[in-house]
């Protein structure tokens, strides 16, 4: 008897939902929508060095662009090799054995031992710093950089308010801008070899 009662209740529920579904208004036909795509160049994703230079020239304050050619001219093992000669930027390596460097833009962060504060390090515009704003300059390899944008002081506000000293944006090569084949051998005094 209980099973029969359950079947009757189940049947009533099904018929009620079916009648509610069928008593709805007639369906409305929407007009056809055509979606087209325009081919995007590589520069619409990440600007190439020439486009980045043109954008940086529009900024009235202190900015600098380190291009791939500048990186390829000499040794590129540490942040000091990449950024050591940028005007207004001071890079100090802790010792010869480690890659840890202290970066200071216009005096910002000089009181820090070797972790950054007040300078935002970015890779393709994405922050490399920790949540509290401190960062480490050894989080990137200079050879994996297509070009580097350096923003001194308030010119870096586009990357957030924690950039009192400035910002350094390391831009990676894309599939369009990367060299198809690349080999590099560096050697120097004190048995320095890097391949």
* 26/142 Cα distance (integer angstroms): 64
Residues 6+ apart with CB under 8 A from 187: 193, 194
Helix (H) or strand (E) holding 51: helix 49-57
Residue 122: CB atoms within 10 A of its CB come to 23
Which positions of the chain have pLDDT values less than 70? 1, 15-25, 39-46, 95-99, 109-114, 195
Task: Note the pLDDT tens digit of each residue in 65-77.
Answer: 888 887 777 777 7
The gap between the terminal CA atoms of the chain, to the nearest Å, is: 84
Half-sphere exposure of 131 (CA within 13 A, CB side): 0
Domains of the chain by start residue, with CATH: 45-175 (2.170.130.10)
Residue 1: per-residue pLDDT: 67
Task: Note the pLDDT tens digit of each residue in 20-34.
Answer: 555 556 778 889 999
Residue 103: per-residue pLDDT: 81
Residue 34: CB atoms within 10 A of its CB come to 4
Residue 140: per-residue pLDDT: 75
> Pick from 117, 169, 34, 126: which is nearest to 103 by CA?
117
Three-state secondary structure call for residue 124: coil
Residue 20: CB atoms within 10 A of its CB come to 9
* 189/23 Cα distance (integer angstroms): 87
Half-sphere exposure of 70 (CA within 13 A, CB side): 17
Residue 31: per-residue pLDDT: 92
Structure tokens at 136: 């480490």
From the centroid of its chain, how far is CA 128?
A: 8
* 70/86 Cα distance (integer angstroms): 11
Q: What is the pTM of this model?
A: 0.67
Burial class of residue 117 (count of CB atoms within 10 Å of its CB; 0-12, 13-18, 19+):
middle
């Amino acid at each position: 008897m209980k099973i029969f009662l359950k079947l009757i209740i189940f049947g009533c529920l099904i018929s009620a939902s079916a009648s509610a579904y069928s008593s709805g208004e007639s369906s409305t036909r929407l007009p056809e929508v055509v979606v087209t795509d325009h081919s995007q160049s590589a520069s619409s994703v990440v600007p190439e060095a020439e486009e980045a230079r043109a954008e940086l020239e529009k900024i009235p304050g202190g900015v600098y662009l380190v291009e791939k050619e500048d990186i390829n001219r000499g040794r590129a093992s540490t942040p000091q090799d990449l950024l050591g000669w940028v005007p207004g930027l001071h890079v100090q390596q802790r010792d010869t054995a480690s890659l840890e460097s202290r970066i200071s833009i216009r005096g910002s962060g000089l009181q820090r031992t070797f972790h950054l504060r007040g300078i935002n390090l970015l890779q393709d515009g994405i922050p490399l710093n920790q949540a509290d704003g401190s960062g480490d300059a050894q989080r990137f390899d200079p050879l994996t950089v297509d070009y580097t944008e350096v923003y001194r002081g308030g010119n870096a506000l586009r990357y957030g308010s924690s950039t009192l000293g400035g910002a350094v944006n390391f831009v990676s090569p894309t599939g369009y801008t990367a060299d198809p084949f690349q080999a590099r051998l560096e050697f120097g005094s004190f048995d320095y070899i890097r391949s």
